[in-house]
Copies of this chain bind each other. A is one copy, B any other.
Amino acid sequence: MTDALDIVFAALADPTRRAILAMLLEDDMAVTDVAEPFEMSLAAISKHLTILTRAGLIAQEKRGRVKWCKLEPDAMKAASVWMQGFGQFEPVNLEAFERFLTVELAPEDGPEAPDAPGGPDQAASSS
C-alpha cells in the first residue's frame, strides 16, 4: 500500500516540480505557460503536472482549450505537519498539533512570508 506521503514527498523530490510549485505560488497558470521557462518538452511538463496533481499539490481545471493549474497546498501542509514531529524530541501530542494547525492556517499568522521558498530560479537547476 503506497502511502499518500510517499507520493507527496516523491513529487517534491524533483527540482522542476518544486520550481513549478513556486511559479504557481505567484499565480494560476495554463500548462503551456508553466512549460515556457523550462527547456524540456511540453509533454514532459505535462507529466510533471500529472504527478503534482496526483500528489494533491496542485489542481487542474479545464476551461475551454486551456487547462489551468493552481496550487493546492493542503497536501504540502500535511507533509509539513508530518515533519514537525522531528526536531522537537518529543512524541507528537495532539495539543501541539492543533496549535500548529491554527497557527499555520491563520491568514497572516505565518512565521514570515517568504515570497517563494527556493524561488523559481531553481528552474535553472533542474536535472
By beta carbon, the residue of chain B nearest A21 is B86
Q: Does A93 contact B (CB under 8 A)?
A: yes
A113 to B88, Cβ gap below 8 A?
yes
State whether A97 and B78 are in contact (beta carbons under 8 Å apart), knowing that A91-B116, A125-B1 are contacts in the complex: yes
Q: How far is the CA of A81 from the CA of B110 in the complex (A)?
A: 12
Q: Please provide the chain A residues from 37 to 94 with a CB less than 8 Å away from any CB of chain B in the complex.
A: 56, 71-94
Interface residue range, chain A: 35 or more
Q: How far is the CA of A56 from the CA of B97 in the complex (A)?
A: 11
Residues in B with CB closer than 8 Å to A78 are: 97, 100-101, 104-105
A83 to B80, Cβ gap below 8 A?
yes
B100 to A56, Cβ gap below 8 A?
yes
Q: How far is the CA of A21 from the CA of B4 in the complex (A)?
A: 17
Mark interface residues in A109-126 (1 if CB within 8 Å of B CB, else 0).
011111111100010010
